[in-house]
A = this chain, B = another copy of it.
Amino acid sequence: MARTAGSIGTETAKRVLKEALSLFAHHGYAAVSTRQIAKACGLQVGALYNHFPTKQSILHGLMSAHMQDLLEALAGSNFSNDPAGALEVFTRFHIRYHIDKPEEVFIAYMELRNLEPEPYSEVMKLRQQYERTLRGILRDGQAAGVFKIDDVPVTAMSIISMMTGVNTWYRYGGRLSASEIEEIYVNLVLSVVGLGKTATPKLEEIA
């Protein structure tokens, strides 16, 4: 046998990325063989190399596409002018995106060390761009005197870690819906900068 009836290059390439995404997310890049990927696509190993020059390039393709996607989606968000509003938008965006694309997010975090130097620094640049956006919001709020922050860089990383952590426990169909989780995280993140909604009711103490 040879070329399969109905086979089209671009579609096969997409299928490879999709199956590799799932396999890498479940078992890790290093633990997945090219033959496993091919099998998941219903192909022989050799066929992969019509679409990707190396196994590494599949990982790079996945991570690069994800970071581009993330940054584009972030850029498409509607940020309000007041810092608290902007931080809320950022939080909702991050949580929603991470709940919607858990495998992409997971790989982007877990497989960084398996990227060769050049792809690594490319992906890291995009990552840092995302983090810089949050730091900007925090600094604005701090300058405006509405956020109470000890240390902006540490607080930014803490907020990102806190939010990204949703992927370690959230499973579709669980106790809470995505919207409920989003609301909880908005509150948590605003609390971190001293603006918790539920942290205010000390009225009895004042009265």
Contact = CB atoms under 8 A, between A and B. Distances in A.
Interface string A95-116: 0000000000000001001100
Given A157-B165, A158-B162, A161-B162, A191 B196 contact: yes
Given A30-B30, A31-B114, A110-B110, A198 B161 contact: no
A85 B56 CA distance: 49
As for how many copies of this chain the complex holds, the number is 2
Nearest to A169: B157
How many A residues are at the interface, by size bracket? 35 or more
A94 to B, nearest CB: 13
Contacts of A158: 162, 165, 185, 188
Contacts of A150: 183-184, 187-188, 198
A12 interface: no
25 contacts: A27-B30, A28-B113, A31-B114, A110-B110, A148-B196, A149-B198, A151-B184, A154-B184, A155-B184, A157-B166, A157-B169, A158-B165, A158-B188, A159-B162, A161-B161, A161-B165, A161-B168, A162-B165, A164-B165, A165-B165, A188-B192, A191-B193, A191-B196, A192-B192, A206-B206
